[in-house]
Amino acid sequence: MRVIMAGLLACLLVVGTAQARELKPYAGEPTPPLALVDVHGKAHDLRDYRGMVVLVNFWATWCPPCREEIPSMQRLKAKFAGKPFVILAVDMGESGASVKAFLKEVRLDAVMLLDIDGEALKKWKVFAFPTSFVVDPQGKIRYAVAGATEWDDPETIRRIAELLPAMRR
């Protein structure tokens, strides 16, 4: 019985590990516009972030995989503290109050944008939550991932770090 249980546990661990997705080179349409209001009512435009590496993350408070990846996203943010790196977290269809309430429980140093009517989701062609895009300092999407990922994975950090020096040239 113990052998069976151990086997089942091993299977579950393998499945669990396999569910984490990798950041992949982006092969979609050119960077769509992104102009939204944040949870405090302030307007933001992706174009205002030229010169920075931007992680655009489509998420929702009710989405378990979205919540699961927040701690590693925060560690990534801490890793690049002082560097021109910003996270634009685009919440799908929820109120500012819902997002603010959620952020009392979870820390994420990100600009919290609200896509109330799903227009940004449609333009960015997002079909799963979470979906993330890494935009380089020139405003071009370089990487993307559909599903939760470990943002402080060494390979992910390396890929994002490689984009940062390009900004200095």
Partner 1 sequence: MCRRLAFRLLCGMVLLSPFAVPAADQGETFTVVTEPGVEIPVTRYQATGDVLLWLPSEAGLTASEIHIGAQLAAQGHEVWLADLHAGRFLPTVPSSLGKIPASDIAHLIEVVRERSGKSVCLVASGSLTGIVLQALLLPRKQGSVVDGVVLLSPNLYVTTPPPGNEAEYQEVTYKTKLPIVILQPEQSPLRWRLELLQAALEKGGSYVKVALLSGVRDRFHLREDDPPAERALADRLSGLVAQACRDIDQIRMEGRK
118 binds partner 1 (CB under 8 A): yes
Report in angstroms how near the CB of residue 45 gets to partner 1 at its nearest: 19
Region of 4-12, 41-49, 103-111, 143-151 interacting with partner 1 (CB under 8 A): 143-151
Count of residues that bind partner 1 according to CB under 8 A: 27
Which tokens hold the place of 130? 């979470």
With CB under 8 A as the contact rule, the residue among 41, 64, 82, 165 that binds partner 1 is: 64
93 binds partner 1 (CB under 8 A): yes
With CB under 8 A as the contact rule, the residue among 145, 148, 160, 163 that binds partner 1 is: 145
CB-count burial class (<10 Å; 0-12, 13-18, 19+) for 34 = buried
Helix (H, G, I), strand (E, B) or coil at 25: strand
**Residue 130: cis peptide before it, omega within 30 degrees of 0:** yes
62 binds partner 1 (CB under 8 A): yes
- Give the closest residue to 65 by CA, choosing from 153, 149, 152, 156: 149
- Give the closest residue to 53 by CA, choosing from 25, 29, 87, 26: 87
For binding to partner 1 (CB under 8 A), which residues are involved? 24, 26-29, 60, 62-64, 92-93, 118, 121-122, 124-129, 131-133, 141, 144-146
